[in-house]
Every structure is written in C-alpha cells, then in structure tokens.
Amino acid sequence: MNPQPKIARRVAITGAGVVSPLGFGLAETLESLRNGTDCVTPVTAFSVEKTRCKTAGQIPDSRLLEGRQSGRRDRRLHRASYMVIAALDELWSQTDGFKPGVVMVGTTSGGMTFGERFYRTLENGGCSASLIANYPPQKQIVDALEKFGLDAPAQVIANACASGTNAIGHAFSSIRAGQYQRVLAGGYDALSELVFVGFDSLQASTPEKCRPFDARRSGMVLGEGAALLALEELESAQRRGAEILAEIVGYGISTDNHHLTQPNPDGSGPRHAMEQALAGADLTPDQIGYINAHGTATAFNDAAEGKAIQQMFDGVPISSTKSMMGHSLGAAGAIEAIVGLLALQRQLLPPNINFREPDPELRLNIIANEARHAEFDCVLSNSFGFGGTNASIVLRKM
C-alpha cells in the first residue's frame, strides 16, 4: 500500500509586534518608512571616543523603560527584555486565543552587555548574581513569556545575522509540516559595547552615513530592537475567526563555506537561499514585487547580494531599510519581516535612504531616498551573516 502524501499546510501571520529605532509598534514603524526617517543617531549608551564609528540605531530608554515597576525583579531586567516585552505586548493586543505550542526566536549577543559588566566586576574583585542570571541569551524571551503568563518551550537560534529570519523560517517549516499549529517567532538584540567595538575594529562600521548599494558605501551602522510574529496554520486561524495579516509561503537557507566574515563574491550563497525560498513558495522571480535586501552597506556584502539579485530578478524594486535603522543583528530578519508585512498591507515600497550614486557593477532598481506606491502581492526578505549563513523568506498578501 502506498503511503498517503503529506499535505503542506499554509501558514498565516495573525499578529505582529515590533520595537526598533523606527518606532514603537506597527503604526510608528509605518510612519517612519513612509517618511524615509533617518533613525541613526550619535551613540549615548557608552563612550565612542576611541572608535571610528560614532552612531547607531538606538531605542530611547526614556520610552522603553517608562512602564518599569519599582520591584527588585523589574529593576534587574535587561533592557533587551523590555524590548521583547514591548513587542509581545503589541502582538498580544491583536490576538485572541493565540496560545503558541512553542516559541522560536533568533538572537546573537543575547546578554552580551551583562557579560561585559560581569567581567568588569571580576577585575574589581566583585560579582553580582543579577549579571550571571541575565547572561543567557534565552533570558529575554523567558522574561517576556513570564510577563504574559505563557509557558511554551523556547528555542533560541543563534546563527549570526540570519538568526531572526532562521527563527521565522523554522517556525514556518514546523507548521507547514504539521509539527505545530501555532508558533510565536521572531528575534531580538540590544546594542552592546562589546559588539559595537568589535565591528568597529573589523572596520566594518562606518564613520559616515549608512548607504547600502551606493557606489561609495563605506560600511554599516549597528542597531537594536525586537520583533515577534504570531504564526498559525491557516485553517486553524480561519476557524477561530482570526484576522489574517499575510501569509508566509517560502523559506530558503544556504551556507557559503567561503570565509569567516566575507561572503562568497560570486553571490552563490544568497542566490541558493533565494532560489529555495521561491521554489518552496511555488513562485517565479517575476512574481516578487519587492525585495527587502540584507544590504549592510559593506563593500563585500552588497556586492555579493547585488550580484545574486541581478542574476535572478529583472528590475524588481529593492531597498535596505538598514539605511534608516541600522543593523540589529539577530533581530534584523524579524524586524524586516514586519517591514515586508507593512509593505504588503499598505502597498508601499520602503526607501533606501542616503543613496547618492549607483554602483556601476550592479544593475539594481534601488528605491532611492523616497518611498513609492506600487501594487504587488509578494515580498522577499533576505538575511545573510558571518560564516556565510544565508536565509530568505517570502510573504504573500492575503
């Protein structure tokens, strides 16, 4: 007897929450995208006197911590925990009856700031239990789940700058395969002095404006934030009358195996990830109406990604919204998935700001400096990271 073929379930987005330099929540984020707001500002969290780069995309503590309680537990929470709590609070307000079977989140530095403080206290002969308690990268999502009374198990994916997209893609694949009916997925990362100085030491950061895909691009700026999506098997969501914001239809991953920090210059890694995502979605390249590029504004990354895009697509509008908010590492893919969601809902092409001069080596349709209106049904979002890790997802309008 032949086994019954497995049915690929459809995956709906039924809730979304975000906090980033672009704003608190979907409405503020949309307004920043429409206006092409430059949300990169001089660093205030720590001294940048000895670094080349002096700016980052930052979330003001004056808003992030304004609802913090005076109890000992709340005082001990890392600001990254408050980012996740803010994102989950917005998502929670949109959903009714959404109880995730599992939580899948991406992050890179996790409690890195606490690690810095911990080692500095050791030098002075002291140690704080709160520093040790907050160091694990899963602490921030656990704090948020406790805040909302959720006890779902949490899976943390730390796969460089592809982490947030990996988490969403893994959640999508799990629902599609019937392993879970509902998954809470996303990513988070907070600005960390150790990471900031590290990128500056690599000369990957720029002392100038972040100009993805520009001929004279000179490097990235860091950012921070958190974003979460409520993902659900479509028929289940429809049965309970949930609002369907969009559908995730494809996910692709690849690894360059080329260099510790540089992508393969031939663009093969990004291309394979995008090809997989399109194949999983049963779409052709001409059906993609907008690409939210990884676009860090480093010479090597933009060249490799740009080459892969021009090999696959003909004139599709492209932008890197990192030009507006910086690169939030493990949170980037999750925040940019929400950018893609808003683009679909509002039929908006977000801008690639600070763009002055096209790269003569890249034939790309860059959405330069100002948002545009367009009619399209599908968005491709890319996230690529150190070690040649690549991830792409496809969202479709409902």
Known catalytic residues are 161, 294, 327
DSSP 297-366: --HHHHHHHHHHHHHH-SS-EEE-THHHH-B-GGGHHHHHHHHHHHHHHHTEE--BTT--SB-TT---EE
Torsion sign (Cα): 325, 160, 331, 284: positive
Q: Are strands 182-189 and 378-385 parallel, antiparallel or unpaired?
A: unpaired
Q: Are strands 372-373 and 348-349 parallel, antiparallel or unpaired?
A: antiparallel
DSSP 286-303: GG--EEE------HHHHH
Cα distance between residue 85 and residue 64, in whole Å: 10
> From residue 374, how far is each of 26, 151, 240, 317, 368 by CA, in Å?
20, 42, 32, 10, 14
Kindly report each contact of residues 73-77 with a partner whose C-beta sits within 8 Å and lies 24 or more positions away, as own/partner.
Answer: 76/130, 76/133, 76/134, 77/134, 77/143
Cα distance between residue 325 and residue 59, in whole Å: 10
Q: Please list, residue by residue across 312-344, b when 16 or more beta carbons sit within 10 angstroms of its beta carbon and e when fewer do.
A: bbeebbbbbbbbbbbbbbbbbbbbbbbbbbbbb
With both helix axes pointing from N to C terminus, report the angle between 112-123 and 193-201 in degrees, rounded to the nearest 10. Answer: 100
Kindly report each contact of residues 235-244 with a partner whose C-beta sits within 8 Å and lies 24 or more positions away, as own/partner.
Answer: 235/9, 235/10, 236/181, 236/182, 237/12, 237/14, 238/12, 240/96, 240/97, 242/12, 242/14, 242/95, 242/96, 242/97, 242/98, 243/14, 243/94, 244/12, 244/13, 244/14, 244/398
For 179, list phi and psi in degrees, rounded to 5: -75, -35
